[in-house]
Amino acid sequence: MTANDPGLKSWVEVPKDSDFPIQNLPFGIFTTARTGPGVGVAIGNHVLNLAMVHELGLLDGLRLPGRIFSQPHLNALFELGRKKVGEVRERISELLRSDHHELRDQVKAREDILLPVSRCTLLLPVQIPNYTDFYSSEEHATNVGSLFRDPKNALLPNWKHLPVGYHGRASSVVVSGTPIHRPRGQVKVADSEMPVFCPSRKMDFELELAFITSSNTNLGSPVSLREAEDHIVGFVLFNDWSARDIQQWEYVPLGPFLGKNFGSTMSPWVVTLDALEPFRTEGPSQVPHVLPYLSFEGKRNFDIQLEVLLASEKGEVATLSRTNAKYLYWNIAQQLVHHTVNGCNIQVGDLYASGTISGPSPGSYGSLLELTFDGKKALHLPGGEERGFLQDGDTVIMRGHAERDGVRIGFGDCLGKILPAIG
Ligand code: MN
């Protein structure tokens, strides 16, 4: 793919260490005081207004439907398919190259084509028909199994045979920057017969990567492993906020419910699978062998460095965790194949989250539940504060990027602040 060439330079200034060099070109939805909502592409500290680029005739060779970029969500664009979205990205790459003048000349004359991101509000990029949360990190599943159940049988017998998942709640997925109120709910205190109703005392984050689908399939038509990635347009960072005390009381026997559905945060830019192609890597070896419908060839994991930071109300910022998406045991193709093997259909804009991504070492765990052993071993922050779980006023910031040959493909921030419980 030409757009991934590490040698490319843009006429738009891109600061060193920006998540958005010309090799990335992720899609999002933005508004300004005067325009939008519409589709934008991130380049450096700017947003390229695609509705304007289209209006100027610079995308005419692609034969796109009219007003495809004057939409409040990316669904209509994604519905054109991963291949077509890739062609749009390739053409934008061409228009932004340092040796290319067509778009650059127009930008000099009109200021509504290329906007500083500081003048834009980034919105939820997709309308999400369905949200599924997997449980694909062996380290996370082992850690949680040890804490919630029994360290000797941490991993349940099914875990290495299928990507465990559950259906989450799409209505409460919000874009980065949206504050989250601490939920209230039923909590069971150890030495009492009766549960109590109170604000959660075990407010947690979950560091996840989520993929978005760009196809509608028919009910009764499973997606095969060979074609699975053709249906996946890109990734976002995802914080699956979790109230552990509510979760611990409610989850038997049907799994997560109110401990999870009060809010989940996604990053605003959809980084395409195409942009991440150079960062493919082997995943952990799968033993015992998976059933034939889940067996795959090639590199299906992605080497994406991830981190979680906490900014307290006092202004202290601490790194809580550093990990990598390459540790995920189950890859995205296997997740989608397993999801549809019974005939379940997928829709454009569906969100499929990985499950918490934990690595092998304690500093690489993707939730406070694991980092603090269910709140029993508080983390000491560099400025002197301590955390078992999150406090009101805490802001959790997730970041991720892949880096190679001097090219950094990043996601931007996925952040949210915890507000006090309502009422
Ligand atoms: Mn989760």
Domain with CATH 3.90.850.10 in the chain: 131-419
Report if pTM > 0.75: yes
Q: Are 154 and 145 in contact (CB under 8 A)?
A: yes
d(CA 103, CA 69): 17
Active-site pick, 46, 140, 231, 339: 140
Digit-coded pLDDT (tens) for 14-52: 999 999 999 999 999 999 999 889 999 999 999 999 999
**Ligand 1: centre distance to CA 356 (Å):** 5
**Topology (CATH) of 131-419:** Fumarylacetoacetate hydrolase; domain 2 (3.90.850)
pLDDT at residue 383 above 90? Answer: no
**Ligand 1: centre distance to CA 263 (Å):** 11
| Token pair of 187 as six digits | 């909590």
| Banded pLDDT at 1 (limits 50, 70, 90) | low
Digit-coded pLDDT (tens) for 291-344: 999 999 999 999 999 999 999 999 889 999 999 999 999 999 999 999 999 999
Cα dihedral 202→133→240→304 (10° resolution): 120
Q: Are 325 and 304 in contact (CB under 8 A)?
A: yes
**Ligand 1: centre distance to CA 260 (Å):** 8
Across residues 275-297, what is the average pLDDT? 97
Digit-coded pLDDT (tens) for 192-235: 899 999 999 999 999 999 999 999 999 999 999 999 999 999 99
* 140 belongs to the catalytic site: yes
**Ligand 1: centre distance to CA 233 (Å):** 21
**Ligand 1: centre distance to CA 127 (Å):** 20
How many Cα atoms within 13 Å fall on the side-chain side of residue 196?
Answer: 9
**Ligand 1: centre distance to CA 254 (Å):** 15
* CATH of region 27-123: 2.30.30.230
14 Cβ contact list (under 8 Å, min separation 6): 20, 21, 22, 43, 44
**Ligand 1: centre distance to CA 357 (Å):** 9
> Three-class SS string for 217-282?
CCCCCCCCCCCHHHHEEEEEEEECCEEHHHHHHHCCCCCCCCCCCCCEEECCCEEEHHHHHHHEEC
**Ligand 1: centre distance to CA 391 (Å):** 20
Q: Are 228 and 343 in contact (CB under 8 A)?
A: no
pLDDT given at position 36: 81
**With pLDDT > 70 as the criterion, what percentage of the chain qualifies?**
100
